[in-house]
Chains A and B, each alone.
Chain A
Amino acid sequence: MKGKSIRFASLVCAAWLSVVPGASAEGTHPPLTDQAGDPVRGREIVRDTSRASCLICHSISALPDRDHGELGPPLDGVGSIYTAAELRLRIMDARRILPDTIMPPYFATNDLYRVGARWEGQTIYSAQDVEDVVAFVMTLVD
């Protein structure tokens, strides 16, 4: 309980900081590639169970897959709430917004411990994967 409320407080705090003028740029990230994200490809990446799927932790009603996780909030409607630049940063490295988040950093190699030899120095997603996934998540509108 205590952990949750502290997390909630830090969440509100982080959200508040991100609306402070001048600090908002910290909550966003410009595109990682020149090629616009492909939502169709993004949808397949998100469903791929061998690629640290978002569905491990989140539910997405738009996807037909059977098992959706519940460690994170449902992603339905997040495309109406965040801009692509905000979503991008959250997917790249959610720790930059919520330091204690359990959401894995999909495009970061810093501050990780005992990464397996097979994955050392690599990111979960490539730059283009991030763009495609952002494009897909942006389709999850109310």
Chain B
Amino acid sequence: MLRRIAPSLLCWLVLTCPAPAQDSPAHEPISGYAFMEPATRELQDDDFLNPAFFLVEEGLALWNADWPGASGQDRACRACHGAPESLRGVAARYPVSDPESGGMVNLELRINREIAEHLGAAPLPYESQELLALTALVGYQSRGMPMQLDLDETARAWAERGREIFETRRGQLNLSCRNCHQDHWGEKLRGDVISQGQVNAFPIFRLTWDEVGSRHRMFTWCMEAVRAEPHGYGSEAYLALETYLVLRGQGLPVETPGVRR
């Protein structure tokens, strides 16, 4: 019997027992910021050094610009909304339920709807520089505000669906989001300290990507890391996952635009 249980395994079990609030989904949410090296945090803290900050400026230019509408009439976001500060607090409560589709709509999809309906222009491709820029600009207006989901019936149902996705093992490596971001956060996965997988800083500049990416790009990255078939950007599965993750991280301050390893 003793021969079967490696002393190292016993030792490791004892050592890892007092680890973070493993089983309770109601653990205290901690921002990914807390798991970053000081040098990475400094990049986020200083708007002049933050490699994602140019997106906010680019977003502002798009906000003020006249978009050539299909009707031949030029329109700008500014024409209806005034200064971007008028959208303070919006990003903190997204995704929201959408009576039109009966589902959830996130910030990217909502911005695209504005572009189609009010500017009469073609929607921006998901993950395009322009859509990331407008998302960053709107997100930035909520910086420091706590994420807070409006938990109506639709949001509740989608968050539940998102939780199932989060907890379902997948891919050739057979791991769920939960396996890493709930059961083992704070532990080292090779060189990375695993965070709780919170979504309060998106769009983020990821040093690993050397680029800015959205929440949905991160979901795809993590799914591919376990060699699973990702879902599509803007898909119902990702909207459900996003809804659950905002609920799970409720209260965390918006850090947009964030910087991560």
**Chain A residues in the interface with B (C-beta under 8 A):** 1-5, 8, 11-12, 15-16, 18-19, 49, 52-53, 55-57, 66-78, 81-82, 95, 102, 104-105, 112-119, 122, 124
What's the minimum C-beta distance from B210 to chain A, rounded to whole angstroms?
18
- Max chain B C-beta neighbours (<10 A), residue from A11, A73, A78: A73
What's the minimum C-beta distance from B168 to chain A, rounded to whole angstroms?
6
Per-residue CB contact flags for chain B residues 198-242 toward chain A (1 = under 8 Å, else 0) read: 000000000000000000000000011001111000000000000
CB pair B229–A117 under 8 Å, yes or no, is yes
Would you give 28 A-B contacts (Cβ < 8 Å), ordered by A? Answer: A3-B23, A4-B22, A15-B4, A66-B191, A70-B187, A72-B12, A73-B6, A73-B8, A73-B9, A74-B8, A74-B12, A77-B6, A82-B6, A102-B183, A112-B172, A113-B168, A113-B174, A113-B228, A114-B223, A115-B228, A116-B171, A116-B223, A116-B228, A116-B229, A116-B230, A117-B229, A118-B227, A124-B172
What's the minimum C-beta distance from A59 to chain B, rounded to whole angstroms?
9
Report the contact-size class of chain B (Cβ under 8 Å from the partner): 35 or more
Which residues of B, 1-52, contact A by the 8 Å Cβ criterion? Answer: 1, 3-9, 11-13, 16-17, 19, 22-23
What's the minimum C-beta distance from A33 to chain B, rounded to whole angstroms?
21
CB pair A11–B171 under 8 Å, yes or no, is no
CB pair A71–B171 under 8 Å, yes or no, is no
CB pair A81–B172 under 8 Å, yes or no, is no
Which residues of chain B are within 8 angstroms of A11 by Cβ–Cβ distance? 5, 9, 13
CB pair B171–A112 under 8 Å, yes or no, is yes
A15 to B12 CA separation, bound complex (whole angstroms): 16
CB pair A102–B175 under 8 Å, yes or no, is yes
Q: With A1-B17, A11-B13, A15-B4 given, can you name 4 additional A-B contacts, CB distance below 8 Å?
A: A5-B17, A68-B188, A115-B229, A124-B173
CB pair A104–B1 under 8 Å, yes or no, is no
CB pair B171–A114 under 8 Å, yes or no, is yes
**Chain B residues in the interface with A (C-beta under 8 A):** 1, 3-9, 11-13, 16-17, 19, 22-23, 168-175, 179, 183-184, 187-191, 223-224, 227-230
Which residues of chain B are within 8 angstroms of A67 by Cβ–Cβ distance? 188, 190-191
Which residues of chain A are within 8 angstroms of B23 by Cβ–Cβ distance? 1-3
CB pair A55–B172 under 8 Å, yes or no, is no
Write the chain A residue with the least CB distance to B173: A104
Q: Specify which of A3, A69, A124 is in contact with B190 (CB 8 Å cutoff).
A: A69
Write the chain A residue with the least CB distance to B179: A102
Which residues of chain B are within 8 angstroms of A5 by Cβ–Cβ distance? 17
Which residues of chain B are within 8 angstroms of A12 by Cβ–Cβ distance? 5
A116-B190 in contact given A73-B6, A78-B6 (Cβ < 8 Å): no
Which residues of chain B are within 8 angstroms of A117 by Cβ–Cβ distance? 229
A57-B189 in contact given A1-B17, A3-B23, A4-B17 (Cβ < 8 Å): yes
CB pair B16–A116 under 8 Å, yes or no, is no
CB pair A122–B8 under 8 Å, yes or no, is no
What's the minimum C-beta distance from B41 to chain A, rounded to whole angstroms?
20
Which residues of chain B are within 8 angstroms of A70 by Cβ–Cβ distance? 187-188
